[in-house]
Amino acid sequence: VVHLWVEGVWELILAALLAFVLIKVTGVDREVIEKWVYVIVTLALVTGIIGTGHHYYFIGA
C-alpha cells in the first residue's frame, strides 16, 4: 500500500508540474494539456498498480 501511495503521489505531482510548465512556456491551450495530463496520470496509476505485482511473487502469494 505504501509503495503504491509513494510512487503514485510523486508521479501525479510531476504530471501536474509538467502541465503547468508546458502551459506557461509553450502557450498551448489548457484544454489540450489537460487531455494529455489525464492520459499521463491514467498510465502512471495503471502501470504502477500492475508493476507492484512483482512483490506478490516474492512473498509466495
The pLDDT tens digits of the residues spanning 16-56 come to: 999 999 999 998 999 999 999 999 989 988 888 777 777 77
Three-class secondary structure of residue 39 per DSSP = helix
Residue 57 or residue 11, greater confidence? 11
Kindly report the number of other CB atoms within 10 A of residue 4's CB atom: 13
Instruction: Tell me the pTM.
Output: 0.69
- Cα 15 from Cα 20, distance rounded (Å): 9
Instruction: Check: CB of residue 7 under 8 Å from CB of residue 48.
Output: yes
Instruction: Check: CB of residue 44 under 8 Å from CB of residue 15.
Output: yes
Residue ranges per domain, the chain?
2-59
Q: Which value, in Å, is the radius of gyration of the alpha carbons in the chain?
A: 15
